[in-house]
Structure 1
Amino acid sequence: MNLVIGVDIGTGSTKAVLTTTDGTVLAVARRDHAPSLPRPGWAEMDAERDWWGDVAKVLNELTSTHPGDRIAAVCVSGLGPCVVQTDEQLHPRRPAILYGVDSRATVEIDEITAQLGADEILQRCGKDLSSQAIGPKLVWLRREAGEAWRPQDRWFSAHTYVVARLTGEWVLDHHTASQCDPFYDIHTQGWATDWVEQVLPGLALPRLVWPSEQVGVVNADAASATGLAEGTPVVAGTVDAWAEAFSVGVRRPGDLMLMYGSTMFFVQVLTTPTSVRGLWTTSGVERSTHTLAAGMATSGTITTWLQDLTGGVPFETLVSEAAAVPAGSEGLVMLPYFSGERTPIYDPLARGVIAGLTLRHGRGHLLRAAYEGIACGVRQIVESFEEAAGRPARIVAVGGGTQGGLWTQIVSDVSGLVQQVPAETIGASYGDALLAAIGVGLVPPETDWARLDHTIQPDPSTASVYASLFQTYGELYPATRSQVHRLARSVESSGDVADVEHGAVG
């Protein structure tokens, strides 16, 4: 029997799944980790420990029960787009910089936009430069490194760093490359080498591949570290949200995935590439395809913050209390911008706002208001998708936040969306396993393992309450923006903010 392994490096954990070629799950493994937040607007991880180290551990766990020589292929996805700079021996020179939650490169975003032109970047790259883009972070890294940046240095996202450790190959899949703005042209689906030379002359570029392509085989060192057999085929993989969309069958034009996790993420398959200010057009998972995407900066992380704030009360208790609160949280509205915000406002200085607090509000009100605030953000983004590409034909809800039902029900109630929830909720690693099977020819490219579990319908009795709440939500950010920016800048300039020194990692 041929077996395949999919591995996903997430923001909060690394997960791996071992499956047969018909999608039957035989074993799973997990290791938890967390990003470092050393300064306001910074989010980092230790690539050696948190990416490669955790992947090696979960692979060892799976191969200890199913010998490595029975594994036909492995594929890795990861949080992203991220960037870590390494030497030729793949030793990271500093902590890895995370995706859009890290907003350190704001100066570089402004400089590159002025250099190349905002409209030109939007048309060629499919989106405005933002904290999600890798190009400005590479410029930031080059400036920080100065003379220490060597021509032979390489740069990776999370999953491509692990692919390099497994195989020695330096590759980047087309989807991840399409988030390396302004260095990738979504129309030609290749590197924009002229802009690379204008912005970062001499920058070395990895070989471009599609997520389902085999890119190499497990080398001797990686075999020793992971338990995989030397020579095991390795498939390229991609960013976790796109691997998860692939896992639940979001592959046809009009399909939209809502991913409930640490952040809220959106991926919709397009018929043709488009350029819409405020949204991200990218290359897709399958060859020559495109997707429209968006992401909120903080979602599930707010619930963790609230649980910690209330003394570690069991999460089930918090959810039960929130479910008992009526729609509208009895006059409470929350802007979920606790780490700035990506879509739809693209404001790294945005911050969380809780409006309407009274002495009668409790922790259940706060959790419900958090869910309702996130749901209002979802509605704003989906309405933007409708304007750009038409109303989604099908919406699939995925991620850990789909468990329990309250959060997803509130999103349907606030937005009016019907959501399908799949039977298999393992996530991106399940999509990786399918990509691995496709990549080595064990199953046809059109194979789909997705199965529907249930559908969430909006509750019409809440419609008028949520229409009013949504209006208030939309008015609250512009009404408080200048004050919130002033507060954010006061923290950034305060001498009380820790200035963390970064040494070698590993």
Structure 2
Amino acid sequence: MPRSQRRIHMFLGIDLGTGSSKAVLTNSDGAILDTATITHQVSLPRPGWAEFDAENTWWAEVIGLCGELFARNDPTRVAGVSISGMGPCLVVTDAAYTPLRPAILYGIDTRAEQQIEDLNREFGEDAIYSTGGKVLSSQAVGPKLRWLADQEPEVFAAARHWFSCSSFLTAKLTGEYILDHHTASQCDPLYDVHRQDWIPERADAIAGHIPMPALAWSTDIVGTVTDSASALTGIPAGTPVCAGTVDAWAEGFSAGVRIPGDLMLMYGSTMFFVQVLADFHAHRQLWTTAGVEQGTLTLAGGMSTSGSLITWLAHLFGDAPMETLMAEALDAGPGADGLLVLPYFAGERSPILDPDARGTIIGLTLRHGRGHLVRAALEGICFGLRQSLELFESSGQPIQRILAVGGGTQGTLWTQLVSDILGRTQIIPEQTIGASYGDALMAAIATGAVPPETDWTCMARVVEPDPASAQQYDFLYEKYCQLYPATAGHMHALAKIQRGGA
């Protein structure tokens, strides 16, 4: 049969990110056939809380994205589906998968500080680090489950399942109660990263009557689209669905970050970095996790704000066009005329793991304008990234390649600042749509349409560091590293006031 008459299969990848939801249709060669995007905002009902309505935002947006795509494309051509999402999150539901409260988000939600202390005492900090490859932090799901039991016992008692973002949506599509290994490995202290399985005694102590979801690898087919989900989304009933994963790991997969030593930088609302490991390595300020592919391990870290900080500044400046702000930031020059910013506007994850850290701007004068502030914020994000990558190097796994992905790579200033401040080359793929593209590749692999080793990545450009600014940035980096220890006590006192304390 001539190629023009063949039925070309499509693969649907959907990603629910912090700032937007995206969907992509590809063919088995990785060509993008169509895309759709819906923007949304995180709910911040109290200081330290970050939530989403899983049913009326996440699931509704999946339905909306599918409706948009299938208004332009034949849904019967969809041969496989995969979903990724922000994570790890905590969604608790009844037996019918109806959420009982808003979803509690990943590390930017810092409500469970007391439960982190409680679980460290209960199981031992060293034992948790040994089995999970990381210390308990606001990123972990276990303390948030305990918080729910402590603070909302009626909700906890009514819960029959618990999910992360991607696994909740997979359940809505398939009716299956599963969780991918990578996401599970961020649900400390419930998962043993060495055995790559749940720890039953900790599950009993933390989740209680709520059973653990079945574990699967990201490219495993875990079910098919149900009749009821098909009626809502338009995806044909019976279409295979694979397990999916957390958005940052799907984005790394999309960029071909699959070889030991490869490191992905994800430029988004938050900044995330994931390195593939040849064997087990750990650092107390980073996270060792299961990878996307069976039996693999990764080392990771993430900042609590990055693109979201720049968006916040844009709102403060009257929703000024981002292009204008970036042009003014470029004109401000290296060092922003003596400004430094600690980008801890939602606490901080890597490298300081301090939910009570607070944003700091130092060096302001009446001469500074909004371009200086945007420039200093971008540089502060880059300095924080430099701190974390120094920890990666000291963990024993050298960084061989840096691949940059995400919406922030579409401009030039931010990526150039990262290379200048790190003193490292970055490779930027041609396709920067992100996690949803990695999801589509997972679906293609899961259904056998392409071999497991398939990589759709094509490189678009390389960003080289500019040595002219190296000395100035080295000086500012030294001051940046000194600023947090010098001000942490004041930050914590102010954070207590923000939570309603004396």
Shorter-chain TM-score range: over 0.9
The alpha-carbon distance between structure 1 residues 446 and 453, as it changes in their structure 2 partners (threshold 3 A), is: same
**TM-score w.r.t. length of structure 1:** 0.96
TM-superposed CA distance for 1:150, in Å, is 3.8
What SS does the corresponding residue of 2:81 show, helix, strand or coil? strand
1:255 maps to: 262
Structure 2 residue 402 is matched with structure 1 residue 395: yes
1:244 maps to: 251
Gaps of 5+ in 1: 496-506
Residue 235 of structure 2 aligns with an amino acid whose one-letter code is: L
Q: Deviations over 1:116-152 (max 9, x none)?
A: 1111111110000000000000111122332443476
Tell me which of 120, 128, 139 is aligned to 2:127: 120
Tell me which of 335, 343, 354 is aligned to 1:336: 343
Aligned partners of 1:412 and 1:70: how far apart in 2?
A: 42
2:63 maps to: 56
Contact 2:250 2:439 in 1 (8 A): yes
2:311 maps to: 304
Tell me which of 144, 165, 173 is aligned to 1:166: 173
1:432 maps to: 439
1:85 maps to: 92
1:421 maps to: 428
Aligned partners of 2:45 and 2:205: how far apart in 1?
A: 31
Aligned partners of 2:78 and 2:449: how far apart in 1?
A: 12
1:500 maps to: none
Aligned partners of 1:317 and 1:436: how far apart in 2?
A: 39
**How many aligned residue pairs are there?**
495
1:447-486 correspondence to structure 2 within 5 Å: 447-486=454-493
TM-superposed CA distance for 1:483, in Å, is 1.1
Structure 2 residue 386 is matched with structure 1 residue 379: yes
TM-superposed CA distance for 1:406, in Å, is 0.2
What SS does the corresponding residue of 2:83 show, helix, strand or coil? strand
Aligned partners of 1:374 and 1:473: how far apart in 2?
A: 11
Percent same amino acid at aligned positions?
54
1:11 maps to: 18
1:103-182 correspondence to structure 2 within 5 Å: 103-150=110-157, 153-182=160-189
Tell me which of 264, 279, 288 is aligned to 1:281: 288
Gaps of 5+ in 2: 1-7
Contact 1:127 1:277 in 2 (8 A): yes
Aligned partners of 2:495 and 2:86: how far apart in 1?
A: 26
What SS does the corresponding residue of 1:329 show, helix, strand or coil? helix
Aligned partners of 1:104 and 1:147: how far apart in 2?
A: 18
1:331-370 correspondence to structure 2 within 5 Å: 331-370=338-377
**TM-score w.r.t. length of structure 2:** 0.97
Tell me which of 405, 413, 428 is aligned to 2:412: 405
The alpha-carbon distance between structure 1 residues 390 and 37, as it changes in their structure 2 partners (threshold 3 A), is: same
1:487 maps to: 494
Contact 1:64 1:227 in 2 (8 A): no
Instruction: Please tell me the root mean square deviation across aligned C-alpha atoms, in Å.
Output: 1.1
Contact 1:250 1:396 in 2 (8 A): yes
Contact 1:14 1:31 in 2 (8 A): yes
1:319 maps to: 326
Aligned partners of 1:479 and 1:405: how far apart in 2?
A: 33
40-49 or 60-69, larger mean C-alpha shift: 60-69
Structure 2 residue 53 is matched with structure 1 residue 40: no
Contact 1:151 1:204 in 2 (8 A): no
1:498 maps to: none
2:3 maps to: none
TM-superposed CA distance for 1:247, in Å, is 0.3
TM-superposed CA distance for 1:5, in Å, is 0.5
Residue 445 of structure 1 aligns with an amino acid whose one-letter code is: P
Aligned partners of 1:148 and 1:400: how far apart in 2?
A: 37
Residue 363 of structure 2 aligns with an amino acid whose one-letter code is: G
Residue 115 of structure 1 aligns with an amino acid whose one-letter code is: E
Contact 1:123 1:275 in 2 (8 A): no
Aligned partners of 2:429 and 2:207: how far apart in 1?
A: 43
Aligned partners of 1:328 and 1:243: how far apart in 2?
A: 34
Residue 310 of structure 2 aligns with an amino acid whose one-letter code is: T
Contact 1:171 1:209 in 2 (8 A): yes
Residue 420 of structure 1 aligns with an amino acid whose one-letter code is: I
Q: Deviations over 1:436-472 (max 9, x none)?
A: 0000110000000001111111100001100100000
Residue 142 of structure 1 aligns with an amino acid whose one-letter code is: A
Q: Deviations over 1:318-370 (max 9, x none)?
A: 10011011211111000000000001111111000000001101000001100
The alpha-carbon distance between structure 1 residues 461 and 445, as it changes in their structure 2 partners (threshold 3 A), is: same
Tell me which of 194, 201, 225 is aligned to 1:194: 201
TM-superposed CA distance for 1:198, in Å, is 3.4
TM-superposed CA distance for 1:380, in Å, is 0.3
Q: Deviations over 1:205-261 (max 9, x none)?
A: 000000001111111110010011111111110000000000000000000000011
Aligned partners of 1:156 and 1:183: how far apart in 2?
A: 13
Aligned partners of 2:392 and 2:449: how far apart in 1?
A: 35
Aligned partners of 1:319 and 1:30: how far apart in 2?
A: 23
The alpha-carbon distance between structure 1 residues 164 and 199, as it changes in their structure 2 partners (threshold 3 A), is: closer
Contact 1:423 1:453 in 2 (8 A): yes
